[in-house]
Amino acid sequence: MKPKSTTLGLSANWKQFTLLVIVNAFVGGMVGIERTVLPMLAELEFGIASHVAAMSFIMAFGVSKAVANYATGRLAARFGRKALLVTGWSLALPVPFMLIYANDWSWIVAANILLGIHQGFAWSSTVVMKMDLVGEKDRGLAMGLNEFAGYIAVGLMAFLTGYLAAHYGPRPVPFQVGIAIAVTGLLLTLLWVKDTAHHVAAEGATSTIPKLKNVFVETSLQHRTLGSITQAGLVNNLNDGMLWGLLPVLLLNEGLDQGRIGLIAAVYPAVWGIGQLFTGKLADHINRRSLLIIGMMLQGLAILGLPFAHAQGAYVVLSAALGIGTALVYPTFLAVIAAHTHPQQRSEAVGVFRLWRDLGYAIGALLTGLIADHFGITASILAIGSVTVLSGMVVWLRMPSERKCLELEDLMPLLGKPNVRVVDVRSPEEYAGGHLPQAVNIPLAELLTRARNWSPKERIITVCAKGGGRSAQAAQVLRDVGFSRTWWLCGGTLGWR
C-alpha cells in the first residue's frame, strides 16, 4: 500500500517531473543524431542505391523499439520503471561508437537495433512515470511537456548534426555528440530519478475505471477508442519513417546542400516538439477526438504537398505543417490511453499502443522503400500521404464522440420517452438522499455488467452529484463498448435540485 505522504499532481511532484522531462530530452537527442546524417551516409559513404536497403536501419530501429515498448509495458510492474530506464541508457552507450567505426552497413543496422531497444525502454519509462506522478487532471499537459522535451531535442540534434556533417563530414564528429548524451542520461537516471510505484498504488486504490479483460486485444483493435488511437499512432509513425528515410534524399535530388537539408529536416520535429507545449494542455480542456482528426488530416495534406514543393521556403512551410499536425495528436494519443485504462494496466496498455505505433517505422520504411524502388519517390510520398488522410477518417468514423454533457433543460423533455434511460451511478446511500425522477441507481462499478442486456440504440444519460466526475466516466465507459448515444448530465443532481 501507498505511504501516507504519496500525493498525485504536477505541483506536488514538480522536482521529479522536471528531472524526467530533462532525461527525456536526452532520450530524444540520441535518435536526433541520426535523422539528418544516416540517410546521407547510406548514399555518400556506403554507395547504397536501393531505397529498401538504405531504409533497413529504420526498419531495424522500428521493430526493436516496438518490441521494447511492449516489453517495457509488461516488465514495468515487475521490476519497476526506474530499472527499465537504467537498462535503456546502458544499451545506448555502444551506439555512437558503432556508428563511428562501422565499415559495413550491417553495423549501422545493428546499432539501430540497440538504439531502438534503448528508445523503447527509456522513452516508455519516462512517459509512464510522468503519468504516474501527475494524476488525471494534468495528464495532457504532462504528455505535452514530455513529448516537447523529446522532440525538440530530436530537432536540435538533427540540425546540429547536419551542421557538423556539412563542416566536418558525416563521421565521426556528428556521432561524438551521442557519446556525451548517453553518459549524461545514464548518470542523471542512476543518481536522481526515483521510481513511481507508490504513485501507481495511490491512484489504483481510488480509480473507478474498469479493467480491460484482454489489454493486448482491446488496445490493439477491439476497444473503439483505444483501437482508433492505436491505428492512428501506427500511421503517424509510418509517415514519420517515410520522412526520415526519403525526405533527405528528396531534398538532395533537388540540389540542396547538407546544411539546408539539415535545417528543413529539423523544422518538422522542432515544431512538433514546441507545439506540444500548447497542444498537450489543449488535450485537457477540449475535445480530444477533434484534435486527433484535425492532426491526422493536416499531416496527410502536408505530405501530399511535398512532391510539388520545389523551393526551400515551401519545404519549410510543409515541414512546419507536418510538425503542427503531429503536435496535435502525439500528447493526445497518450492522454486518451491513460484516461481509458486502469492505473494498474496503464503501463501495459501504453506498451501495446507504442508497440503498434513504432512498428509504423518499420512498415513505413519497408512500404515506402518498395514503392520508391518500383515507382519513384514521388509515388511513395503520395501513397503515404493518402494513407494518413484515411487514418484520420477512421478516427472520425470509429472513435466515439466526446460531447461533454447534456443540459438539464434538454433532459427534462426526454424523461419517460421510450429508449431513454437515466442512470444514477452514485452509491445506494447517495441515491437515497435524493435523485432525478425516473433515474435508476446502478453504481459505477456495476455498470458494465448491468448494461449487457441494454440495446445500443437507447439514449443513456448518466448522473452523479455534481456532474463531470463519476457520471462523465460512466458515459465514456458506455460509449467505449458501443453505446454511442450516451451523455452525462451537466450539474448532476445538485443542478436539478
Does residue 282 share a domain with residue 149? yes
Domain assignment present for 94: yes
Other C-beta atoms within 10 Å of 94: how many?
A: 15
349 and 483 inside one domain: no
pLDDT in tens, 182-202: 999 999 999 999 988 778 777
What is the tens place of the pLDDT at every residue in 242-263? 887 788 888 888 888 777 887 8
| Residue 4 domain-assigned (yes or no) | no
Task: Look at residue 1 in the predicted model and tell me its pLDDT.
Answer: 41
Do 227 and 177 share a structural domain?
yes
Look up residue 33 and give its three cell numbers: 543524431
**Residue 378 belongs to some domain of the structure:** yes
Q: Are 274 and 148 in contact (CB under 8 A)?
A: yes
Residue 404 is predicted with a pLDDT of: 62
Tens digit of pLDDT for each residue in 94-122?
999 999 999 988 999 999 999 999 999 99
Asked whether residue 21 is domain-assigned, the answer is yes
pLDDT at 188: 96
Residues in the chain with pLDDT < 70? 1-5, 49-50, 136-137, 204-210, 402-404, 409, 467-468, 495-497
- CATH number for the domain spanning 454: value is 3.40.250.10
351 and 487 both lie in a single domain? no
Paired residues of 487 in beta bridges: 461
Q: Does residue 67 share a domain with residue 198?
A: yes
Q: Does residue 18 lie within any of the structural domains? A: yes
What confidence score (pLDDT) does residue 208 get?
Answer: 54
Q: What is the pTM of this model?
A: 0.72
**C-alpha distance across the termini of the chain, in Å:** 39
5 is a domain residue:
no
Residue 261 and residue 138 share a domain: yes
367-417: pLDDT as tens digits: 888 998 899 999 999 999 999 999 999 999 998 776 567 777 677 777 777
* Residue pair 254/305 in contact by the 8 Å Cβ criterion: no
Identify which of 322, 329, 399 has the alpha carbon closest to the alpha carbon of residue 140: 329
Residue 123 CA to residue 377 CA, distance in Å, equals 31
Residues 127, 224, single domain; the answer is yes
Displacement of CA 311 from its chain's centroid (Å): 32
Q: What is the pLDDT of residues 453-473, one digit of tens each?
A: 898 878 888 888 776 678 888
In CATH, what number is assigned to the domain containing residue 97? 1.20.1250.20
247: in domain: yes
Are 263 and 326 in a shared domain?
A: yes
Q: For residues 140 and 193, state if they share a domain.
A: yes
Number of domains in the chain: 2
Query: Are residues 377 and 456 both part of a single domain?
Result: no
Q: Which three cell numbers, joined as nine digits, stand for 157?
A: 540534434
Query: Which among 398, 430, 458 is the end of a domain?
Result: 398
Domain that holds residue 122: 14-398
Cα–Cα dist 290/287, whole Å = 6
Q: Which domain-ending residue is among 369, 398, 427?
A: 398
Q: Is the sign of the CA dihedral 397, 128, 357, 269 positive or negative?
A: positive
- 170 and 235 share a domain? yes
Q: Is 403 a domain residue? A: no
| Same-domain status, 78 and 20 | yes
pLDDT of residue 3: 44
What are the phi and psi torsion angles at 465 (to 5°)?
Answer: -70, -55
Domain boundary among 398, 423, 452: 398
